[in-house]
Amino acid sequence: MSHSNAHAANPEIIKRLRRAIGQLNTIVGMIEEDRSCTDVAMQLQAAEKAITQAKKTFIHQHIDNCLEPGETVSKQSMQDLRDISKYL
């Protein structure tokens, strides 16, 4: 299987990452405005969760594209799986 298009623009991943970008921009503004530490920490947690979910979705999509049912898994596919699984 060719992996060159395995991760074509995934709207769910892009949506999550754009949300995280917005949250990070908001957090920078909150810090510049000297907002409460609790409020900033809460927003940092939300941004971190959005990025974590995007990462999981991306990696699971890669695994699904790498290992198709009924096919013999190549050594390269297994190595790809090992390489990406360390980011879970």
- CATH code for position 48: 1.20.58.1000
Report residue 16 as tokens: 């999550």
Give a yes or no: residue 63 inside a domain: yes
Residue 70 is assigned to a structural domain of this protein: yes
Residue 59 lies in a domain: yes
Q: Is residue 37 in some structural domain?
A: yes
Residue 66 lies in domain: 11-85
Q: Report the half-sphere exposure of 18 (CA within 13 A, side-chain side).
A: 7
Q: What are the pLDDT digits (tens) for 65-81?
A: 776 666 677 777 778 88
> Per the domain annotation, does 67 fall within a domain?
yes
Locus of tokens 């754009």: 18
Q: What is the pLDDT of residues 20-67, one digit of tens each?
A: 999 999 999 999 999 999 999 999 999 999 999 999 888 888 887 776
Type of residue at 14? I
Q: How many domains does the chain have?
A: 1
In a domain, 66, yes or no: yes
Residue 75 lies in a domain: yes
